[in-house]
Amino acid sequence: MPTRLDWRLGSGGKASDLSAATDPELEAHADVFSGRAGTDDDGSGRGSRSGRDAGSRLFTRLLGGLVLLAAAGAIGFYVGRWSEARGFVVHGVEGTIALEELAWREGDREIYESTLDPYSSIEWKSAQVFDFITNAPRPWTASVIDLLPVEKGRRIQATVNVSTPGNPGQTTVRYYELRGEQWRRAEP
């Protein structure tokens, strides 16, 4: 498989002629790699096999593009739905915390008890109400730092920053349960 390459430099050091002589086997491999395999001798690409191959390549590329487009659409749809659901949870938990904040400021036991999960244990609810009765009314603010779904989206672990006059910022972990259409504070 010898290959011969002749260089001839013209005037001014420019290449004026470049020719390569190769054996037929190398030329056949070059045709395969350059995409000229299966074409007619004139290189027109009208060979019977070439048209079918080009058509199947086009079909494969179009099919692959459609699959990628469908996958991107599905991912976008589910990301949008997740974002919408997360917004629902955040607003719901923040609404419950706002009610709790109002109850603490006003000293309203009824409002405070409405923020607690009715299915939590009597002992836990009694301890929460006792703390409220002994310490309310007082300025109390809270803000949600992070939310983490715990049980199939119906129970949420919330990291909450609670501020009171004697304690300017205490981070606590709370749990909230979805009861009907309202998130209520639940026992851990």
Mean pLDDT by 10 residues, the chain (188 residues): 66 50 52 51 53 79 81 71 67 88 92 94 95 87 85 84 83 91 91
pLDDT for 21: 47
For residue 130, what pLDDT is reported?
Answer: 95
Q: What is residue 140's predicted lDDT score, i.e. its pLDDT? A: 82
d(CA 185, CA 113): 10
45: left (phi over 0), alpha (psi -120 to 50) or beta: left
- Could you tell me how many helices (H) and strands (E) the chain has, helices first? 4, 6
Alpha helices of the chain — where are they, by DSSP H? Answer: 24-34, 48-106, 109-114, 122-135
- pLDDT score of 32: 47
pLDDT, position 166? 79
- Sketch out the chain's domains with CATH numbers: 77-186 (3.10.450.50)
